[in-house]
C-alpha cells in the first residue's frame, strides 16, 4: 500500500465516510420514529415528511432483487474506479467527493438490502422526497463534475 493511500484513505476518508453514514442513519431513525406528521420548514418550498422509497434515488422506480444487484454493482464499480484510477491523486476535492458518494451509497444500500426500502424525509415542493444519503451522492457528483471540469484536460 503506498504512502498516499495511508495518508488520505485510511485515516481520513474511512472515518469520514463512517461519520456520514451514521449521521444519515440517525436522521432516518428520527424520521421513522418521530416524524409522525408533515413539518413545514419553509412554506410551499421545504418540508419534512416520512416516506418509504422502494425505488432507486429520488423515487425512480426500480425494485426487488434487480435493484439490490444494481445497487451493489454500482457501489463496487465506483469503488473499483476510485481505487484503481483516482486514489493516488493528491486533490482534496476529489477524495472528499468520492467520500460523499460512498457514504450516500452505503447509507441507502444498507436500508435497501436489509429492510427493503429507503427512508426518505426531505421534501422540496415540486421535486422528489429524499434523504441525507441522496444529498451526499448529489453533492459528491457535483464535486466530481467540478473536479473533472477544472483539473483534467
Question: Is pLDDT at 60 greater than 70 in this prediction?
Answer: no
- Domain holding 55, by residue range, is 3-151
Supply 99's cell numbers. Answer: 467520500
Q: Find where cell 422540496 sits.
A: 124
Q: How many residues does the chain have?
A: 153
| Active-site position among 13, 131, 134, 137 | 134
Question: Catalytic residue at 134?
Answer: yes
Question: Catalytic residue at 120?
Answer: yes
- Per-residue pLDDT tens for 103-127? 999 999 999 889 989 999 999 998 8
Q: Which of 21-30, 46-55, 82-91, 115-124 is predicted least confidently?
A: 82-91
- Tell me the helix, strand and coil percentages in the chain, rounded to 5: 65, 15, 20
Q: Find where cell 503506498 sits.
A: 2
pLDDT at 1: 46
Q: Where residue 70 falls among pLDDT bands split at 50, 70, 90? A: confident
Structural domain count of the chain: 1
Determine the 3-state secondary structure of 16 from DSSP: helix
CA dihedral (89, 95, 97, 102) positive or negative: positive
| Active-site position among 82, 120, 136, 143 | 120
Phi, psi angle pair for 2, to nearest 5°: -75, 165
Quick one: 86 exposed, middle or buried, by C-beta within 10 A (0-12, 13-18, 19+)?
middle
- Mean pLDDT value across the chain: 88
Q: What is the DSSP letter of 55?
A: S
pLDDT at 108: 94
pLDDT at 139: 98
Supply 35's cell numbers. Answer: 416524524
Side-chain-side CA neighbours of 6 within 13 Å: the count stands at 3
Amino acid at each position: 500500500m503506498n504512502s498516499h493511500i495511508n495518508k488520505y484513505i485510511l485515516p481520513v476518508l474511512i472515518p469520514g465516510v463512517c461519520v456520514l453514514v451514521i449521521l444519515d442513519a440517525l436522521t432516518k431513525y428520527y424520521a421513522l420514529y418521530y416524524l409522525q406528521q408533515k413539518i413545514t420548514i419553509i412554506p410551499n418550498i421545504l418540508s419534512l415528511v416520512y416516506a418509504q422509497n422502494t425505488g432507486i434515488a429520488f423515487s425512480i422506480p426500480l425494485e426487488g432483487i434487480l435493484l439490490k444487484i444494481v445497487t451493489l454493482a454500482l457501489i463496487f464499480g465506483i469503488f473499483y474506479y476510485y481505487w484503481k484510477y483516482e486514489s493516488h491523486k493528491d486533490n482534496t476535492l476529489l477524495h472528499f467527493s468520492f467520500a460523499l458518494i460512498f457514504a450516500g451509497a452505503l447509507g441507502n444500500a444498507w436500508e435497501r438490502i436489509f429492510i427493503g426500502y429507503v427512508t426518505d424525509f426531505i421534501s422540496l415542493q415540486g421535486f422528489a422526497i429524499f434523504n441525507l444519503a441522496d444529498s451526499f451522492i448529489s453533492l459528491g457528483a457535483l464535486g466530481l463534475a467540478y473536479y473533472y471540469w477544472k483539473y483534467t484536460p
